[in-house]
Structure 1
Amino acid sequence: MINFNYESDFNLDKEEAVAAWISAVIVSENKKEGEISYIFCDDEYLHKINLEYLNHDNLTDIISFDYTVGNEINGDIFISVERVQDNANDFNVSFEVELKRVMAHGILHYCGYKDKGEVDERLMRSKEDEKLSMFHVEQ
């Protein structure tokens, strides 16, 4: 089950379509859907989590807590919509595309993909692009 929670003024458009896409992303990686919660928040909220749980004193766009058991994907994915907007501007893409990329990124981590190091990062970007195309989002 895919859940969407809001700790900011942001609200996701087309929740059902996005949930169906996330489900398809999971199946495309030969995984089973468990309980996945997306929590949309602002920089301040995510920064506090980053400090408290990871001891990192920096802003980030996403923090994911992986509760995957075997082949069943479970976890909490916190996304700063402020960071996503800034990244969209920096990368010259729409907010929608960058948000979907970050949402897929969290799921891909749960599927075992890493993004530390050049080779892993290239594979992660390739997988993100593949998953974005499943939502028919123009990049």
Structure 2
Amino acid sequence: MKLQQLFLTAILTSGVALSATAHADNSTRVAAASALGSVLGTTVGKNIGGQQGALIGSALGGAGGAAAASSSKNRTESAIGGGLGAAAGYSVGKSVNGSTGGLIGSALGAAGGAALGNNIAKDRAAEKAAEKRYNKRHNHKRYYDSRYNRR
């Protein structure tokens, strides 16, 4: 129990230091904030509602941490990835190594899911921009003159 409290204190302390520098949209910062949020959500949820509360708390904490650290363009994808990764990581970690494994699993799952969601959002935005550039150069729409269409 003392090791778990020491672990959580170290995470919360680093979270405070990280929150001052977490401006927006670096994948590492998004992953770290999501991991910290999922650990915090897991511990609070476990104290409030047992194992089900820990699962829900890890998902909400992971999504909240990812949303707080990502930019507004990538916020939704990062939050979804962080929440799903935290919930899956908690359940896998819990079955492997008990409650401590659940904490570690939720942190790792939230970090991976949030980083993946952030990268998916960035790739989608880049693809959309490239398509817009292509369509601007090669306009495939045909504009008919109205006087020739009145037959």
TM range (shorter): 0.3 to 0.5
TM-score with structure 2 setting the length = 0.31
Q: Provide the TM-score with structure 1 as the length reference.
A: 0.33
Larger helix percent: 2
More strand by share: 1
